[in-house]
């Protein structure tokens, strides 16, 4: 019999989700608006302290609307984390603007403040900065925000992977002018698919909701003075989100346990280093990742293949955007002044370990034993 599948990060439902979904059915609120949408927004506002929230169909939609609100358009430069998933920067190109990729730094794997500062020397007038909190680890927000303020450029926080992570006691996603969260299937909580735009500015949030509902002017007839989008979250989906949010802290605690367990289990293997956390924050540990010392003969592919043999799901580290064929035409500001890229190095040496909160102690033992065996332990 094939061994049971061990997942990277799959949805974990609790029953509360079904209750809210049932309510939507019972009241026939099966629509892109309704009480679950409103309540999910209020509950997210309360949980994160984000001020105001607009529930959307995806995190990507939230990034897109953030750029629309800032008036980003053709030819505008936007500084964006290079070491991320393509959803972070695709919306820049939707608007025919120009992404400039900013390398990661080794301490947190997030946008390097030094590279960001150097980018301003080359492009003095970017329209926005989009910074990611990769794998749930908060970026160096103090430094990044100081640079953005100095140059008077708005910051958008892509907190798609870091819902529940805090930096200096405040939630990631609530520091920038705008923040975004994702509820895609593999994220720390999920609505199957969905996202949220958040901001301390009530007017901006209202405008995001307006653009997300086809930019319909307040008139009895269908009147439009602007181009809009169909980006709103549905009332059924929001019901799943409400049920999930009740369990977010529990998910985070379990993710942190998984990370701690891996770190402890590999502590005696000098070739393995776990992904960094930020001492100024409290990470949700969405995915536990490891890198292998560059001198070591064991490659990430070898470890992933071996874990596949015990039916454990892994994933390579995100491939940096400046290495993606589709973004080859855009500029990249590396961490090292001689051109060396931190993101490319981590990509070459890293992998994501199974980080599913349903992993049993036996699953964890199997994964850990399998990885250790790769290193002759
Ligand atoms: C998942 C993710 C997104 C996109 O969110 P969707 O809800 O899937 O559109 C954006 N940025 C990062 C870093 C992500 O991991």
pLDDT digits (tens, 9 = 90+) for 57-115: 999 999 999 999 999 999 999 999 999 999 999 999 999 999 999 999 999 999 999 99
User: Which of 221, 245, 269 lies at the terminal end of a domain, its last residue?
Assistant: 245
Q: Which atom of ligand 1 is nearest to the CA of 62?
A: 9
Q: Domain range spanning residue 129?
A: 16-245
E-strand ranges in the chain read 52-56, 77-81, 98-102, 128-132, 155-158, 166-167, 170-171, 178-182, 195-199, 272-274, 281-282, 289-292, 315-316, 332-333, 350-352
- Nearest residue (CA) to ligand 1, atom 2: 160
Shared domain check, 254 and 223 = no
Q: Which atom of ligand 1 is nearest to the CA of 161?
A: 15
Ligand 1 centre and the CA of 236: distance in Å? 21
Q: Is residue 258 part of a domain?
A: yes
Q: Which atom of ligand 1 is nearest to the CA of 61?
A: 9
Contacts of 60 (CB under 8 A, 6+ apart): 87, 90, 91, 182, 195
Q: Is residue 3 part of a domain?
A: no
Q: What pLDDT shows up at residue 31?
A: 84
Ligand 1 centre and the CA of 333: distance in Å? 23
Ligand 1 centre and the CA of 297: distance in Å? 33
- What is the spatial distance between Cα 191 and Cα 243, in angstroms, rounded to a whole number? 9
Shared domain check, 218 and 94 = yes
End-to-end CA distance of the chain: 27
Angle between helices 35-48 and 235-245 (to 10 degrees): 30
Ligand 1 centre and the CA of 59: distance in Å? 5
- Nearest residue (CA) to ligand 1, atom 5: 59
Ligand 1 binding pocket mutation candidate from 8, 60, 104 (most atoms within 8 A of CB): 60
Q: Residue 348 is part of a domain; what is its CATH number?
A: 3.90.1150.10
pLDDT digits (tens, 9 = 90+) for 167-191: 999 999 999 999 999 999 999 999 9
Q: Residue 127's closest CA among 74, 82, 180, 86? A: 74
E-strand ranges in 250-377 read 272-274, 281-282, 289-292, 315-316, 332-333, 350-352
**Number of Cβ within a 10 Å radius of residue 114:** 17
Q: What pLDDT shows up at residue 1?
A: 61
- Mean pLDDT for 358-373 is 98
* DSSP 8-state secondary structure symbol assigned to residue 322: G
Q: Which atom of ligand 1 is nearest to the CA of 60?
A: 9
E-strand ranges in 148-228 read 155-158, 166-167, 170-171, 178-182, 195-199
- Where does the pLDDT of residue 307 fall: very low under 50, low under 70, confident under 90, or very high at 90 and above? very high
């Amino acid at each position: 019999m094939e061994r049971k599948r061990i997942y990277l990060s799959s949805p974990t439902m609790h029953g509360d989700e079904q209750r809210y979904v049932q309510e939507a059915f019972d009241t026939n609120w099966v629509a892109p608006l309704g009480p679950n949408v409103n309540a999910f927004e209020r509950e997210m506002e309360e949980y994160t302290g984000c001020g105001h929230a607009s529930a959307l169909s995806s995190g990507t939609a939230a990034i897109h609307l953030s750029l629309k609100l800032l008036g980003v358009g053709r030819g505008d430069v936007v500084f964006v984390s290079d070491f991320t998933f393509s959803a972070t920067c695709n919306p820049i190109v939707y608007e025919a603007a120009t992404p400039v990729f900013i390398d990661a730094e080794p301490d947190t794997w997030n946008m390097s403040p030094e590279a960001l500062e150097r980018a301003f020397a080359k492009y003095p007038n970017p329209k926005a900065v989009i910074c990611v909190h990769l794998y749930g680890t908060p970026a160096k927000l103090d430094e990044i925000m100081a640079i953005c303020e100095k140059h008077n450029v708005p910051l958008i926080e892509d907190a798609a992977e870091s819902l529940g992570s805090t930096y200096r006691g405040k939630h990631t996603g609530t520091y920038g002018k705008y923040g975004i969260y994702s509820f895609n299937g593999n994220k720390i909580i999920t609505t199957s698919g969905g996202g949220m735009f958040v901001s301390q500015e009530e007017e901006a949030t209202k405008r995001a909701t307006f653009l997300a509902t086809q930019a319909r002017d307040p008139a009895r007839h269908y009147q439009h003075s602007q181009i809009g989008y169909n980006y709103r979250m549905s009332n059924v989906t929001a019901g799943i989100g409400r049920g999930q949010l009740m369990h977010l802290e529990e998910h985070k605690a379990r993710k942190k346990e998984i990370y701690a367990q891996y770190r402890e289990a590999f502590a005696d293997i000098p070739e393995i280093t776990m992904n960094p956390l930020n001492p100024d924050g409290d990470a949700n540990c969405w995915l536990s990742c490891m890198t292998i010392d560059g001198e070591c003969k064991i490659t990430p592919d070898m470890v992933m293949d071996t874990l596949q043999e015990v039916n454990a799901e892994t994933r390579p580290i995100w491939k940096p955007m400046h290495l993606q064929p589709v973004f080859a035409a855009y500029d990249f500001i590396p961490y090292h002044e001689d051109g060396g890229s931190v993101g490319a190095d981590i990509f070459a040496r890293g992998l994501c370990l199974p980080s599913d909160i349903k992993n049993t102690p036996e699953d964890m033992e199997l994964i850990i034993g399998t990885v250790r065996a790769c290193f002759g332990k």
